[in-house]
A and B are shown apart, each in its own frame.
Chain A
Amino acid sequence: MAVVMKAKHQRLVLALVALAALIGAGLLAASALRDEAAYFYTPQDAKTKHIEPGKAIRLGGMVVKGSLKRAPDGVTINFDVTDNKAVVPATFNGIAPDLFKEGTGVVAEGSFNPQGTFVATNLLAKHDERYMPPELKGMKYDEKSRKLTANSSPVAQP
């Protein structure tokens, strides 16, 4: 049986092949960019990738609860940034955004000093995907089930 393709079927196959090739190219480009297009380094990255002191980077993670301390000069703050795998001490001299708090996300621009402390020149607060009214503030969020549950006995966060 001779396979005779109608012109429009030929065009359909051509269009689908082109589309598949395009999407494949896009995905390859995106995966190649995976590291380059990252907006910030996590504390874990900062430890494993040996970023030399003085190199301008962004460091992103959570501000460790209880680590935020104001220096005697009143404008310098010291805090620890974590991704639950590694902890990096950081310092910042200036005005932090309103949403910058302990236990929330932060993206700090700056560089490491030779002692391994991250010296931030600018702080950005990173908001997470949770939105809730103030009365639910004390509730516990489960990362796996993505459910909020009432938290009767407050557990210390790591």
Chain B
Amino acid sequence: MNNVTHLSGYNNFVLPFMIGMIFVLSCCAIGAVRVILELPASDKKKFFLSLINPKIMAQNVRDWFCDCLFHVKLWKRNKLLGYMHSSIAFGWFMIILLGHIEVFLYTPDRIHKLWYPIFFRYFVAVNDNTMQGSFFFFLMDFFLLIILSGILLALVKRVRSRAFGMRRTTRLSFTDRIGLYSLWLIFPLRLLAEGFTADISGGSFLTMSLNHVLHSFLGSEMNMLPTWWAYSLTLGTFMCILPFSRYMHIPAEILLIPMRNAGILITHSRKGVSRLYVHTCPGCGVCIDACPMGAVKANNKDATVYLNRQLKRGNQRRINEISEKCLLCGKCSAVCQVGVEGDKLRIAQRTQIKYNLSPDYSKIDVNSLINTNNIFVNTANKNVSYTENKKVLYFAGCMTSLTPSIRKSMVSILNKSGVDWRFMDEEGGICCGRPMWMAGRLEQAKQMAEKNTEIIKTSGADMLLLSCPICYRIFKERYSLEGVEVLHHTEYIDRLVSEGRLNLSRSDTRYVYHDPCELGRGCNIYEQPRHVVSAVGELVEAAKNGKESVCCGGSLGSLTLGFDKRKPLTENALANLTAGSPDAIVTACPLCQSTFGRYSDRPVKDIAQIVDENS
């Protein structure tokens, strides 16, 4: 047995693997080309330019390793979940890599045979040359063991998902099941196959010991070929089912990472990057637990993972149902392990709904809304004591005008701090456009944005101050207001306090701060409101806060959720907030305030109110 026994380096059992491999590679290539072709021309240019940008490329490489192989985000969520995924992904990657290195070192003449590294141990026999590779044999066995431990965890997770920090997991579809079972089978079969041939090919602690055990009661070498056949067949099955199952996320994520780093946004409901998002969804189901609608069990089927599944199937009725129901709180996007933007995907679906009647704002006369109240003419406000004062235009917004206490408090704060300010919508104004944008009617939203931009430009203001996070988000994201700083009142109050223009007195009241979806996840403002709340009282944190705060249930994002359907969601969010038994709930959104106020057992206040009371 000193020579290589299988001289040809080929056996029929490699066929299932080769068929699967060729199939999956061609599917991925076609898919990638299709996605890139579907991008708008400007995005295509952006994408290709990003590939030659060294900074973005470095980011891509880092993300490929951290996200695809090490699953860093999953580790942060739950150690067991992280270990399970990264052991399989990284272990498999290392086995493939080491397999190629082995072939390259010991049988370089066979490197062109695509199957050879995968079935190396069948074709090669132990000799002095290959035994120098006992280090590699050890590594191969080591990574195989790591993968097998990951598979074992996966089996446990099927029975006890709670141990992995997941209350609910996805219901698998038929193809997902086939993919899952064949994935589970690949590695034990590999171990078995290598165990049978370990005395010929050589092996290490795992395969060699298994070989001894097997030979003690299954001496025949006849078992060798069937196990290698079985191994190749499961590999082939897995790869043939991959494009139709959730495992498509493995190749799709590799393309999504450079697309995301290039800054390509969703522009079409199905095509281009939307298609890529749908296929990148691994169906892990983290979004099911995250979804605030999950407070009612019937809503579980409306999580982003199921939207992606329906998008793959093209079930239009369900796609519309899921997209229109969503609160667009963005929590699924915040927790998503691969960065699928469930909220934006849904807005893109909503743009496809046909309406016969469309509002037309061209008749609205902007001049009627511009008056001495909101225009800065020769700003000589005698109450203003600061020389380098900004001209602040305060846009309360629709929602704030329904919660006059916030507006009153803001007016009082602005006057106390000696700010030179004007009201933009004291007598009513034009909606910011965000609710219309969320309904998927982007053209109408843009029309409103134009009207508002005209008012702001005419006013001559340097700063636009907003009380409503819904407005704030669209003013930040979609308006082009050069020279005008856009601030939410939480940021502005924090600034006033730190500049010493507003003095706060601290009380012993325990406040819990609720992060409004549009302010927190939407605009990334978490710190400033907490500074302010800590300055006026004791800050208690909710059970889930910050990026994972629970939507109040009142969101304008949902088009179809009725009043009574929202109640359990609000109660669930309240239970989350009151976990630390605070004296009062503080939020920074008029809509959250009025929604919570409806069912809360303790006072619900806006941050402006508590600041005004304590200054």
A binds B: no
